[in-house]
Amino acid sequence: MNRFCLAAAALIAAARLNAQSPRTVAADSLLQQGLVEQAETMYYAAVRVAPRDPEARLGLGRYLIERGATRVGSVLVEEAVRFGLDPANAAPVLAAAYETLGDYQSLSRLSSAVVGASTIARAHWLVDHPMRIAAPDSETLVDFRERMLGDTVGTMPIRINGRGYTAIVSAHARGITLGNDVAAATHARRFETAADSGRALRLGVVDSVDLGKLAIKNSPTRIDVSGAVRGVLIGLEALMRFAPTFDRAAGRLVLRSTGSSAAKPEQGTSIPTLIVDGELLAVTTGGWASIAMPNVARLLRGRRWSIDAKRGRIVVER
């Protein structure tokens, strides 16, 4: 296993420290090796054999969330809590799922001691001021310049509270991250507590984010106060909800307000994906790797490719 797969395997393993069901442990091992179908069979088998085993249900729920079936997976994790799982073990998994779903009501009910007081404060604000997505058409075209260098996938225009920026599309960033200067210029709302004092990233909300003609009102953001980010980073995680298609030749990015991809695997190569800690991983020989890694990036560079997050795959056109 190369160093890229080892790094991804460590990321996956870190999310599974509490797994105790033998079948779930076996499924986790298969998943880390990139054996998706075998792992999925084992996760489902663990629940069939012990339907009220909270660890087995947690394992299957987390797997489904990571593969893009976020709603179904979160229900399974909620059931695991009802069957005796420590809520503290479920909270980080559910917090990420609820944020993906935009379910801030459920997020606001989680323990602030586990997911953070700032997370809960922002969730309460978003319950009262809901995030809304609007677009005049089902597909929105946005200018896109591919770069595929290090963490950078490319660049695209973005408007934050009416101000225009060129955002870097990042393979590693979570959501939309604003530099401290951009957050100040756009008057982003900040949600900070004393516990955040040593953290580079803080939580925020901006009134509007415009990606071409697609508008997001009351959009959650992260704010980098360390100075490492200058400008705007937009992570693949933030774009995945719109089933994006990246097209270097056309110089554009297609975003779909329905969240459903138009990519057809029979017309290209389908690569299974996982979303772990907000990062998109693609299956590769011996395990998983970020799309920022050279062994994955070279499969995408210069091609037209789509993220079909709901089905846990990238489709690369021939």
126-183 pLDDT, tens digit per residue, is 999 999 999 999 999 999 999 998 899 999 999 999 999 999 999 989 899 999 999 9
Contacts for 97 with CB less than 8 Å, ≥ 6 apart: 65, 70, 73, 74, 77, 103
In whole angstroms, what is the distance from residue 171 CA to residue 287 CA?
Answer: 18
**Residue count (the chain):** 318
Res. 195 pLDDT band, cuts 50 70 90? confident
In whole angstroms, what is the distance from residue 232 CA to residue 224 CA?
Answer: 10
Nearest residue to 152 (alpha-carbon basis) of 127, 170, 137: 170
Topology alike, domains 3-128 and 133-240: no
Q: Which CATH number fits domain 133-240: 3.90.79.10, 3.40.190.10, 2.40.70.10, 3.40.718.10?
A: 2.40.70.10
In whole angstroms, what is the distance from residue 223 CA to residue 124 CA?
Answer: 19
The residue-averaged pLDDT of 74-99 equals 96
Look at residue 260 in the predicted model and tell me its pLDDT: 87
Joined together, the tokens standing for residue 88 give: 């503290």
* pLDDT tens track for 114-129: 999 999 999 999 999 9
Tally of CB atoms within 10 A around 297: 18
In whole angstroms, what is the distance from residue 172 CA to residue 46 CA?
Answer: 32
Contacts for 127 with CB less than 8 Å, ≥ 6 apart: 104, 105, 108
Burial class (CB in 10 A: 0-12, 13-18, 19+), 3: exposed
CATH superfamily of 3-128: Tetratricopeptide repeat domain (1.25.40.10)
Residues facing 316 on adjacent strands: 269, 305
With contact defined as beta carbons under 8 Å apart, do 193 and 211 qualify? Answer: no
Q: β-pairing, 232-235 with 163-170? A: parallel
Please give the model's pTM, rounded to 2 decimal places: 0.91
With contact defined as beta carbons under 8 Å apart, do 157 and 209 qualify? Answer: no
Please give the share of the chain, as a percent, with pLDDT higher than 70: 94
Residue with the bigger pLDDT between 8 and 95: it is: 95
With contact defined as beta carbons under 8 Å apart, do 21 and 271 qualify? Answer: no
In whole angstroms, what is the distance from residue 106 CA to residue 124 CA?
Answer: 10
Domain residue ranges in the chain: 3-128, 133-240, 262-317
In whole angstroms, what is the distance from residue 88 CA to residue 285 CA?
Answer: 34
Tally of CB atoms within 10 A around 264: 12
In whole angstroms, what is the distance from residue 108 CA to residue 136 CA?
Answer: 31
Res. 10 pLDDT band, cuts 50 70 90? low
